[in-house]
Each structure stands twice: as structure tokens, then as C-alpha cells.
């Protein structure tokens, strides 16, 4: 007898994702939300109560109706609808692996295409802005300085920093910080000497327990993603008030990650190394930093052109006329 939707969903969310695959809680929660919404859609639009929903209800037509309902009724963007579709497809990849008799049902779902969405703009801070941010944090506390320094220095995801412990820090040369990324995959990231010194000083304020979290809130409890975002926003706002042209009004932890990657790229660091530092599963993800940087594109084009294009034969007046014509093209 084939497993029911409820049985398969329960095994996927409660056992397979957290235990077998080691998915982070936030990802599992997002997947769960996708199915909560799908069941609400089925009840509202199809008259099917949640306890009557079946795997057979997940047809491409019904899923497309669900995605349209998300956009129209809940005001979701295409990117959000794509995330919900990705959750459904992830579930059906699991279904076909544990219930091969359902492959014929899973195949049409897995062949569904996500809606095309514009590439999100990569917002990053200048080197000057990062320096001003760290200088502002230094005025507040050693913890804030260490937190923002290591967030930028490692290019880590905010949850990775929130989860670090005393045992993850190696302050002596070569200084490193061990991070647990997506799917519980760990990686060792190097620390610059300046960052290592700050982290070593901060670690002495936590205590000797190697299992203790590196960053705590004001109540002495492990800091959260929201807490880190608050600290960053507070110091960024202070810099913005004093230097509005140097610092955006709103800064997120992920912008520090983008900033680190962009600054490394601008300094000629190979994309492969940047991928490994950031913990990207694919180089394709890292390549977006190169595609999004017009200055890097210009430098690459100029460098390539210099090798094949001879010095211009235009005299100053001819060049002026040519530029005028180009500028006035419609």
C-alpha cells in the first residue's frame, strides 16, 4: 500500500530534511510554509479540507493555480512564488526516491519551470563605508566591533556567525574560523591578522567553555539573526547620520557578505577562491558578482582590446565629431 501525502510529508519534514540531509531550521520552516499555503489554497479554491488532500492533487494545473493564487490573493512576487514551487519540487524529488511507484506522478511536477524574474541587484558597501562602520562599532563595545569585523572578514552568512562557538575560533597563526553552512557543511575560513586579534580579545570575555557561543546578547544568551541585524543597522544609521554620502540609510548583514566578495573580486582574487570562502555550492552563484560589477567589465574589455586594437588614427577634431554623433544618436 502506497504511503499517503500526510505520511510522506511528515517523514520528509521531520526526519529526512533535518536528520538525513541536515537542512537548517529556517529552510525546513520555509518548506513547511509552502505546504501550509497549498493546503489553504486547496480548501479555499477546491473545497478540499487538509485531511483529504492527496498526492494526486499536485498536478501542474493545480500547482499553477496555487502560484497564481499566491500572487493575486496574497500579493506575492514571482520570486516568492518560485520559492514555493521549489519547495514542492524538492518534496517530489524525495517522493520519487522513497516511493518509486509514484515516479509517474512526480515527473510532471519536476518538469515545471519557475517564472523568470529579474536578477536582484547586488548592493555592497565601499571599502570606506566598511571602515567607517567598524570605527563606529568600536565606540560602542568590543563585542560589536568583533561581530561586524568577523561578519565582513569572513563573508559569512549571518546564521553562520550566530552559531559559532569558542571552539570554532583559532586565533593563533594561521588564524581561522570554522563555519557551519547550509546542509551543515562546514568550512574553514581564514582571518586577517587584525580580525584575529579583535576576535581573540573578544573571546576572552566569553569564558573558557569551548562550547560557548562566541556572540551573546545583552542578557547573556546566544545572539540571534535579528540581534545581529539590529546591531549592524544601529551602527550603520549612526554613520549615515554623520556621513550620508558614504553610508546608505539601511544596511543588512548580507550586504557585508556582498561587500567582501566584491572587494576581493576588485582586488583580483580568483572566483574559485571567493566561492570557497563564501561557501557557495556552485561557481555560477559566485559569478553574479562579476556580472554585476560594471567597472570590472570595463577593465576586462579595455584589457582585451588593448591587445588587439591598434592606436586610434583619428585626430582630435575627428574624434570630437565622432563622439558628438554617438552622443546624439536616437
Query: Which residues belong to the active site?
Result: 157, 182, 254, 257, 280, 289
DSSP 95-115: HHHH-GGGHHHHHHHHTPPPP
Give the whole-angstrom CA distance, residue 247 versus residue 245: 6
C-alpha cell of 103? Answer: 515516479
C-alpha cell of 19? Answer: 536528520
**Alpha helices, H only, the chain:** 5-11, 25-46, 60-73, 78-98, 103-110, 127-140, 142-154, 158-163, 193-203, 225-242, 253-266, 271-278, 283-291, 294-308, 316-327
- Residues paired with residue 187 on neighbouring β-strands, in sequence order: 179
Count of beta carbons in the 10 Å neighbourhood of residue 224: 14
For residue 2, give every residue at least 6 positions away whose Cβ sits within 8 Å of its Cβ, in sequence order, or none.
Answer: 99, 101, 102
Which of 112, 113, 7 lies closest to 55, judged by CA? Answer: 7
- Residue whose grid cell is 541536515: 22
Give the whole-angstrom CA distance, residue 91 versus residue 8: 9
Q: Please, is 244 exposed, middle or buried when counting C-beta atoms within 10 Å of its C-beta (0-12, 13-18, 19+)?
A: exposed
Amino acid at each position: 500500500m502506497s504511503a499517503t501525502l500526510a505520511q510522506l510529508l511528515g517523514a520528509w519534514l521531520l526526519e529526512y530534511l533535518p536528520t538525513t540531509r541536515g537542512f537548517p531550521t529556517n529552510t525546513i520552516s520555509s518548506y513547511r510554509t509552502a505546504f501550509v499555503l497549498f493546503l489553504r489554497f486547496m480548501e479555499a479554491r477546491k473545497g478540499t479540507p487538509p485531511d483529504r488532500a492527496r498526492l494526486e492533487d499536485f498536478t501542474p494545473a493545480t500547482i499553477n493555480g496555487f502560484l497564481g493564487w499566491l500572487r493575486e490573493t496574497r500579493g506575492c512576487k514571482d520570486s516568492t512564488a518560485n520559492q514555493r514551487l521549489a519547495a514542492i519540487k524538492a518534496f517530489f524529488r524525495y517522493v520519487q526516491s522513497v516511493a518509486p511507484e509514484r515516479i509517474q506522478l512526480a515527473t510532471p511536477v519536476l518538469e515545471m519551470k519557475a517564472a523568470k524574474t529579474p536578477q536582484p541587484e547586488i548592493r555592497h558597501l565601499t571599502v570606506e563605508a566598511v571602515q567607517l562602520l567598524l570605527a563606529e562599532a568600536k565606540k560602542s563595545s568590543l563585542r560589536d566591533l568583533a561581530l561586524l569585523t568577523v561578519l565582513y572578514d569572513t563573508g559569512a552568512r549571518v546564521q553562520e556567525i550566530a552559531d559559532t562557538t569558542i571552539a570554532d575560533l583559532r586565533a593563533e597563526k594561521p588564524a581561522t574560523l570554522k563555519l557551519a553552512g547550509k546542509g551543515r557543511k562546514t568550512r574553514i575560513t581564514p582571518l586577517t591578522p587584525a580580525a584575529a586579534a579583535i576576535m581573540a580579545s573578544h573571546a576572552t570575555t566569553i569564558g573558557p567553555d569551548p562550547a560557548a557561543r562566541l556572540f551573546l546578547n545583552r542578557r547573556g544568551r546566544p545572539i540571534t539573526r535579528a540581534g545581529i541585524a539590529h546591531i549592524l543597522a544601529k551602527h550603520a544609521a549612526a554613520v549615515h547620520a554623520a556621513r550620508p554620502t558614504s553610508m546608505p540609510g539601511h544596511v543588512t548583514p548580507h550586504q557585508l557578505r556582498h561587500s567582501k566578495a566584491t572587494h576581493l573580486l576588485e582586488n583580483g582574487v580568483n572566483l574559485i577562491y571567493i566561492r570557497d570562502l563564501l561557501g557557495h555550492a556552485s561557481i555560477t552563484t559566485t559569478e553574479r558578482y562579476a556580472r554585476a560589477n560594471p567597472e570590472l567589465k570595463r577593465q576586462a574589455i579595455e584589457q582585451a582590446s588593448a591587445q588587439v586594437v591598434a592606436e586610434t588614427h583619428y585626430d582630435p577634431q575627428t574624434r570630437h565629431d565622432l563622439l558628438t554623433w554617438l552622443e546624439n544618436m536616437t
